[in-house]
Structure 1
């Protein structure tokens, strides 16, 4: 589908320009894109391209679809009050005070449908909805957030819908920023960055950890959503979508059999159907996280239980490890901690670089481009391996640690280094000791949920690594 005139794109921060502007390396899938003379002249060494001509529109579309560029506009999005073609759907169960804060933050010009999903005191929810002029749909019994969103969607008459959980408060400009992404006719859904509440004196260490490292926060960089990509899913805390595309998924786009992971399932079904999905961190909403330790750990474990039903529906998309033969040798050699470990790891990277360079014959510097891809792959392998040891596979890693000094060393290094690097990456306002402790508790709880879900499903597909024998192009 063509982009509208004036729609702009900017090369992603993950994209590297090589060969004097004749090739792009990186994107959302770690690939190489060769540019024709016309395409190279259109970019002309710059990072921004406007869809103002036939060739410019075609190139902008290609860069977007392949993850080499993100949408860009020369002017601000404007106020949320000017958005008149979006309806907000809010699923809620009790939480009348939270609902009040959300509705207070929404523009009065935006229609709202509140779905009371079996509240114990429905009168309070009804009074809040009435006070803010929202339509009210009532479920006599609790049917879950997926069913509540589906019920609300049936009452939407605008071409676009925003699903907002009752425990978020959007920041000004969120709706206008997200809505203009949908001027791209190929885009089905876009979501903002989900942050925690503003920091306050007296916040607990759990709250300070969540403010920096929430499971719902997908980071500061925009991205096209891809299975096993840089951004692989979107949380349903806040989503803006094209109603017509959701309607093509059936009577209800959210799978009502899922009490958790229904948002991931919806995003992946959209991607499978050929639709585009984006993450836009320039728009932000604030989410009130659970602050009590027991509730916080329970929520993390609950998230983990979604892996098994998602694996049944989407196979290897949930794999905790995505590896190729060379990366498996690379990781295994380093984990072995022998004298030959480093030489073998370097040799596997060299073999990967050589093999990739042969596939990049059109590049002026194929070895350089291949080395960039291999280096990025090596870092990803180390990060994935450490995360897998401390998150999905921690029961196996802990068992190995009781029998092997090298396993204990590998687990300890992974646990500490992962925590310290992650703390620096997210800029947490929490001392290193408590941050690493919180990070490990987070992973232990989530991993426990994954194993519990696998046991319930009597299937361990959610724990199986995805081994790829062919390299991406």
Structure 2
């Protein structure tokens, strides 16, 4: 049996400076095809990417969001396998070969690679979002190790995922990708489950995720997460169970903190409660009370996700 061919699909948005290093590494590892999808106009990209040698570039006329940018890349794929990666994920040696090898054992197979967060040697005063993301990721990775195929597909985490190109196209036939501001990978996993796909988590298919998020973009992301929960409910007719804690306060949660989260969720503007939480967050960072700062960041995550969910509910659906 001949070796499976592999296409790397790499969407990017305003991170041109990261692309030459990534292209060089994927080429060094033997990827048969490298497709960069610039998610919207990126003037001057030719001068940056040309330094990397031959590579296929798709520049979208408008920003379409991650899921649809990936599909624009899928339309150019000529290989057996698609390795869907992110532009802030740096492959470690052997990544491409590990993905190829994992697909040699089964058809309709999805390989979830491992991509721990590259944390700095010294934590900065506004790094709680990245440290929370790193902890959440490791918790999920442990669940993948313990769970089976369905566990992986019900919590698919993009950035280092491969699957047969034909399977990806069939998932698009089940439901075409739509723009979601969060949980695009979960949406793909649900479609793959409907097709009867299997999945495996491969620790050795390893990359490093250079996640970086300060407080302000984190707050916007939290609200977007709530809107995405509503969008997935509308798309599938029910809410994926793992998303409930994002937009619902559990009974065991502090009544005082829960009331404060509800106040933030009910206000369209910042509000005094949100402003006070931001002040506490920044003060904790300044004096290196990082455990407390992380608690404030978690508190704000649900409060703003609840706001995003509420606002999505109140927005009329265009039919």
* CA apart distance, 1:160: 0.4
Structure 1: unaligned runs, 5 residues or longer = 5-81, 323-387, 405-431, 460-473
Contact 1:298/1:445 (CA < 8 Å) preserved in 2? no
Counterpart secondary structure, 1:249? helix
Q: Distance in 2 between matches of 1:142 and 1:224?
A: 35
Q: Map residues 163-178 of structure 1 onto 2, 5 A cutoff.
A: 163-178=84-99
Q: How far, CA to CA, are the matches of 2:35 and 2:117 in structure 1?
A: 25
Contact 1:160–1:242 (8 Å) recurs in 2: yes
Q: Partner residue of 2:277?
A: none
Alpha-carbon contact 1:98-1:166 (below 8 Å) kept: yes
Q: Which residue of 2 aligns with 1:116?
A: 38
Map 1:277-356 to 2 at 5 A. 277-316=199-238, 318-320=240-242
Does structure 2 conserve the Cα–Cα contact (< 8 Å) formed by 1:196 and 1:214?
no
1:441 aligns with 2:297: yes
Q: Which has the higher contact order (CA 8 A, sep 6+)?
A: 2
State the SS of the aligned residue for 2:112.
strand
SS at match of 1:184: coil
Quickly say closer, same or farther: Cα 1:247–1:230, change in 2 above 3 A. closer
RMSD: 3.6
Alpha-carbon contact 1:89-1:112 (below 8 Å) kept: yes
Task: Find out whether 1:96 has 2:20 as its counterpart.
Answer: no
Q: Distance in 2 between matches of 1:252 and 1:304?
A: 25
Moved more, 140-149 or 197-206: 197-206
Shift of 1:257: 3.5
- Aligned counterpart, 2:72: 151
User: Against the structure 1 CA distance between its residues 320 and 455, is the aligned structure 2 distance closer, same or farther, given a 3 Å change threshold?
Assistant: farther
Please list the CA deviations of residues 200-231 of structure 1 after superposition, one character each: whole Å capped at 9, or x if unmatched: 235444277247415587324534342xx477
Q: Is 1:393 aligned to residue 252 of structure 2? A: no
Deviation at 1:456, TM superposition (A): 1.1
Distance 1:190 1:446, change over 3 A: farther
TM-score in terms of structure 1 length: 0.52
**Deviation of residue 248 (structure 1)?**
1.8
Cα distance in 1 for partners of 2:295, 2:49 equals 38
Q: 1:94 to 1:184 in 2, by over 3 A?
A: same
Are the counterparts in 1 of residues 153 and 189 from structure 2 also a CA contact under 8 Å?
Answer: no
Partner residue, 2:156: 234
Structure 2 length as normaliser, TM-score? 0.74
Higher Rg: 1
Q: Are residue 452 (structure 1) and residue 311 (structure 2) matched? A: no
Q: Which residues in structure 2 correspond to 1:372-383 (within 5 Å)? A: none
Aligned residue number for residue 224 of structure 1: 148
How far residue 95 of structure 1 moved from its aligned partner, in angstroms, is 0.8
SS in 1 for 2:37: strand
**How far has the Cα of 1:96 moved from its partner?**
0.9
CA contact (8 A) 1:199 1:211 kept: no
Residue 161 of structure 1 deviates from its aligned partner by: 0.8
SS of equivalent to 2:122: coil
Alpha-carbon separation, structure 2, partners of 1:153 and 1:86: 12
Unpaired segments ≥5 residues, structure 2: 260-287
Q: Distance in 2 between matches of 1:146 and 1:213?
A: 25
Instruction: Give the CA deviation at 1:452.
Output: 1.9
In structure 1, C-alpha distance between the alignment counterparts of 2:299 and 2:137, rounded to whole Å: 11
Superposed CA offset, 1:257-301 (max 9, x none)? 423322111111110221112322332222222332222333233
